Amino acid sequence: MKPRKSREGTAHAPGTLGRTIPMLLLTLLVIALAVPAGVAVSPGFRGPARPPEPAAAGPWQQLPASLSTPDGGPGTAGAMRPLSDAAPVPEAAVLTAALTATLKTDGAGSFSGVVQDAITGKVLFDRSGDEVRAPASNIKLLTAAAALRTLGPDRRFSTRVVAGPKPGSVVLTGGGDVLLGAGKSAPDAVLGRGGLATLAESTVDALRKAGTTGPVSVLLDDSLFTGPSLSPAWSPEDVAAGEVAPLFPLALNSARFDPAVTTGPRPRDAAMTAAEAFAARLSAAGAAAGLTVAPGVARLPAARKPSPAAGGQAGKVLAEVQSATVSQQVDLMLRTSDNYLAEVLGRMVAVASGKPASNAGAVAAVLRQLEELGIPAATLRAADLAGLTLDNKVSARQLAAVVRAMTTGTDTRLRSALAGFPVAGLTGTLGSRYTDTSTARGAGLVRAKTGTLNTVIALSGYVVDADGRLLVFSFIGNGLTPGAAGNKTALDRTASVLAGCGCR
C-alpha cells in the first residue's frame, strides 16, 4: 500500500490543556508570552557577540504566583530573564544516556537524531545524524529559510486589476497571494489580509473615473507560475483528499473553499475560483455605480498579456490589494503545516531567484539558499517543498543546522521563523500533544516543527533547558509501523527530556 500523508494535528485553545494538567496552565501561558520575548532580547538568539551574562537558575520553569508580561514591567511577577550564553552546556554522555532511554520506536523502523548547543554548535547527541531520510513536513523548514532569505520578512505579494487589451476589459492578475479573502481586506489578518470585495470596489472607482460605461468583462492572468501545477511525486490519492491542490499564483483561503474548513477536497482550479468570486463582487459593487459586468471569466492568453509598452491604457493598474508579509506567511505555514502555502512560497523564491516558477525551479532555488547558508546540501534530495512524498531525503544534521541558523546564525532575517514553530501543548500542530505526565515537562517549552506520513514521523526545533541553555534538535523516524501511537509519544518524551535536562 502506497504511503499516505497523515494529518499532523490541529491547534487547540490554551484552556484545553487545563483539563489534563491544570497545575501547569499558568506556567504554559507565561511561557507562550515569555519565550518570544527571550528570542528578541537574548544573546543566545543573536549569537555569542555580546559578553556572557550571569546564568539564571531556570525561573521560566517555576510555577508563578500570577501571570507576568514578557517585559517584566510594573505589576508583573517574575517575568522570564534573558537567556545567557554563560549557562552550562549539557554533558554529551549524560544527555545521550537520557535520550537513548526515550528515543525508541513502537514496532518497526528506527529513529535518527541530532542535538546541538545552539550557540557553539557542539554536538551533544548524534544517532545516525548524517543518514538522509524522508523528513515529511520538516522539509518546510528549508522552504521557510529560503523564503525569508530570498524574499525578505517584510515582502508582500500584490494582486492587481489592470486595464485589459480591449476597452471595457479588466485583468485580474495573480502575484503570489494565495491567502486572499472573499470579503473586505483585513489589515490585521494573515488569511484574508487582501480582500476581493475591497479589490472590486477599488476597481469600480477606477473605472468610473476613467468614464467606463459599457459592460465590463473580466479576464484572468495566472501566468506567473510555469510548468505542471502538481508535483509528479505527489500521490493522486493525497491530491483527491485535499492534502494539496494544483498550484496557482492566486487563491482564496490557501486554496480552500471555506477558511474555517481545513480538511477535505480543494478547488481543482483555485485561480479561476478566485477570479469568479472577484467577478461576482465586481458585479455587486458595479451595480450601485451603474456598471454592468459580463458573465463568465476567461483566461488571458499569454500572447495577449497587457503591457504598458503596448500603448494606450492596456496594463494600467486600476486597483491592488496586498498580502500579509512573508514573515507572517511563514509563521502560518509552519504553525499549521500548510502544504499549499509552502509550495507557493517555494515558487515565489524561484521567481525572486530568476528561475522558472515551476516545481523543479522552486526546489533548485531553495536548495541553493541552503548552500549559501553554509549547510551542505549535496546529499539532500527534494521532490517537493511541503513534504508529501517519501522521495524527499534530508538528514537530522541538516535540519538541526537550519534550526540553528534560525536561532543563532548571522542572517538575522531567519529570526522571523522562530515564532512560527508550534509550542508544545499550546499551538498549531503541537496543540494537542504534551498533555500527559510523561511529556508534560516539555509543555510550553518545546517549540518544534512536526512531520507525519504513514511510516514517517519527525520533530525539529529548539528548547531552553533547565539551566537556561538554548538547544536545537532534530529527530526523524522512518520505516515505522503505520498508526503506532508510541512513536509520536517517543519524540515528545525525548524533546521533554531536553526541556527538563541539566544533564551534568
User: Could you list the active site residues?
Assistant: 137, 140, 337
Cell numbers found for residue 443: 509543555
Cα(314)–Cα(495) distance, integer angstroms: 57
Maximum CA extent, the chain? 79
Answer whether 190's CB lies under 8 Å from 179's CB. Answer: yes
φ, ψ of residue 352 in degrees (nearest 5): -70, -25
In terms of Cβ atoms closer than 10 Å to its own Cβ (0-12, 13-18, 19+), residue 409 is: buried
Residue 450: which H helix or E strand, with range?
Answer: strand 447-453
Cα(369)–Cα(392) distance, integer angstroms: 17
Cell numbers found for residue 95: 544527555
Q: Which of helix, strand or coil describes residue 113?
A: strand
Answer whether 62's CB lies under 8 Å from 25's CB. Answer: no
The strand pair at 447-453 and 456-464 is best described as: antiparallel
How far out from the chain centre does Cα 301 lie? 33
Which residue from 423, 424, 379, 433 is spatially nearest to 401, judged by alpha carbons? 379
Helices (H), 353-500: 359-372, 396-408, 485-500
How far out from the chain centre does Cα 384 lie? 15
Count CB neighbours of 166 within 10 A.
11
Cα(218)–Cα(157) distance, integer angstroms: 21
DSSP states of 117-144 as a string?
ETTT--EEEEESTT-EE--GGGGHHHHH
φ, ψ of residue 392 in degrees (nearest 5): -70, 140
